[in-house]
């Protein structure tokens, strides 16, 4: 088994603004694992809060190379990922790139889509969101036009102009909206008032309204909230879910946070045991990582897989959104191929 990895920068179509700042680019690393004449592709995407970089991912994958190069013949993704995960703490996006590539490789060797190997029914694909950043009205209007194919929107909030932003969006579209605050609100009484106001605006749920450290405040809000509350930054990996169930109604699972598809499946199973709603989301990614998450999306309630729609140049083909849902294909593995 051989591994190759290449750093890239993804440029956004529009500057991407959250409550924690604005970005025009995001770093990624594309990973290729070659075995028995087949190549599986994976991706590490590194938003600032994960603490990873081109340099850290490449350094980690150099260590992973020592494990992968010893493998010949049949392989177990679960066993390999146990070794990879034990190499270092954190580095979750780097680990995810290996996990995704292994799943893609396995599918290509077996000539089956990952969803078929995992016994997932693609006809249960949920609607996926199109994300709007904390933009000026002119940009918001332009993005809403770009999102015509999407049936639901996700709006980033967390500033003094939040109500004006929602009022403006509601003057343009009546599509259902999910709200993502990215830990931007700090006072629980203010948050409660906002939740009551948002309830009247056809809101599906509010994601991570307060900093992940404010657990007592979030538990207080959960008991009183008129809308569903989802955890994102508070829920990184499998071990976070039990506590999350005390303070949220649902969770956002992202492959870059949880080390990939293997752990994401376990998180979905655990969340269902605790009666949590589930969304599978993405970072700023190409079709590679988004297609990997889409293999698991039919097991969830909502998907937030709009990464390729927000960047200027996608490196892969095969990932497509039609009528507001990711359109499954029958290509082997995760269902994408590298553009020439």
pLDDT of 23-44, one tens digit each?
789 999 999 999 999 999 999 9
Q: DSSP characters for 199-257?
A: HTT-EEEEE--S-TT-HHHHHHHHHH-SSEEEESTT--SGGGHHHHHHH-SEEEEEHHH
Poorest-pLDDT segment among 19-33, 184-198, 281-295: 19-33
- Give me the sign of the Cα torsion angle 221, 303, 11, 177: negative
- Return the pLDDT at 23: 79
Structure tokens, 282: 């993405």
> Is there a common fold for 2-115 and 121-338?
no
- Return the pLDDT at 114: 98
What letter would DSSP give residue 274? T
Sequence spans of domains, the chain: 2-115, 121-338
pLDDT of 260-278, one tens digit each?
999 999 999 999 999 999 9
Structure tokens, 131: 């994300």
pLDDT at 200 over 90: yes
d(CA 263, CA 72): 24
If you compute the radius of gyration of the chain from its CA atoms, what whole number of angstroms results?
A: 19
d(CA 293, CA 305): 8
Topology annotation, domain 121-338: TIM Barrel (3.20.20)
- Return the pLDDT at 202: 86
Helices (H), the chain: 54-68, 77-87, 92-110, 114-117, 137-146, 162-172, 188-199, 215-224, 241-247, 255-258, 261-273, 287-296
pLDDT at 139 over 90: no
> Domain 2-115: what homologous superfamily?
Enolase-like, N-terminal domain (3.30.390.10)
Classify burial at 229, counting beta carbons within 10 Å of its beta carbon; exposed 0-12, middle 13-18, buried 19 or more.
Answer: buried
d(CA 333, CA 40): 8
pTM reported for the whole predicted model = 0.95
> What is the number of helices (H) and of strands (E) in the chain?
12, 15
- Return the pLDDT at 20: 63
- Return the pLDDT at 15: 73
pLDDT of 62-118, one tens digit each?
999 999 999 999 999 999 999 999 999 999 999 999 999 999 999 999 999 999 999
Contact predicate 126/300, CB 8 Å:
yes
- Return the pLDDT at 168: 95
Confidence band, pLDDT 50/70/90 cuts, at residue 313: very high
């Amino acid at each position: 088994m051989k591994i190759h990895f290449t750093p890239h920068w993804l440029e956004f179509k529009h500057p991407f603004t959250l409550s924690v700042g604005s970005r025009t680019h995001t770093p990624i690393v594309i990973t290729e694992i070659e075995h028995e004449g087949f190549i599986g592709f994976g991706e590490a995407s590194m938003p600032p809060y994960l603490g990873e970089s081109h340099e850290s991912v490449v350094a980690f994958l150099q260590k992973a190379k020592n494990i992968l190069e010893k493998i010949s013949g049949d392989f177990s993704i679960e066993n390999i990922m146990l070794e990879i995960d034990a190499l270092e703490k954190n580095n979750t996006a780097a680990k995810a790139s290996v996990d995704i590539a292994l799943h893609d490789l396995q599918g290509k060797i077996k000539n089956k889509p990952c969803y078929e190997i995992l016994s997932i029914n693609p006809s249960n694909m949920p609607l996926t969101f199109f994300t709007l950043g904390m933009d000026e009205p002119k940009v918001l209007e332009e993005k809403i036009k770009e999102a015509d194919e999407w049936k639901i929107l996700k709006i980033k909030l967390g500033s003094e102009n939040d109500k004006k932003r929602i009022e403006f969006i509601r003057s343009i579209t009546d599509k259902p909206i999910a709200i993502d605050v990215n830990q931007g609100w700090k006072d629980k009484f203010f948050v409660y008032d906002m939740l009551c106001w948002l309830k009247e605006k056809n809101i599906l749920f509010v994601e991570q309204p307060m900093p992940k450290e404010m657990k007592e405040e979030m538990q207080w809000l959960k008991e009183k909230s008129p809308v569903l509350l989802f955890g994102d930054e508070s829920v990184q990996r499998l071990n976070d879910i039990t506590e999350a169930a005390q303070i949220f109604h649902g969770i956002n699972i992202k492959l870059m946070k949880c080390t990939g598809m293997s752990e994401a499946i376990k998180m979905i199973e655990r969340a269902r045991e605790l009666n949590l709603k589930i969304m599978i989301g993405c970072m700023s990614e190409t079709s590679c990582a988004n297609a990997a998450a889409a293999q698991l999306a039919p097991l969830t309630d909502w998907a937030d897989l709009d990464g390729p729609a927000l960047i200027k140049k996608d490196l892969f083909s095969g990932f497509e959104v039609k009528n507001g849902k990711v359109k499954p294909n029958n290509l082997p593995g995760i269902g994408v191929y590298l553009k020439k």
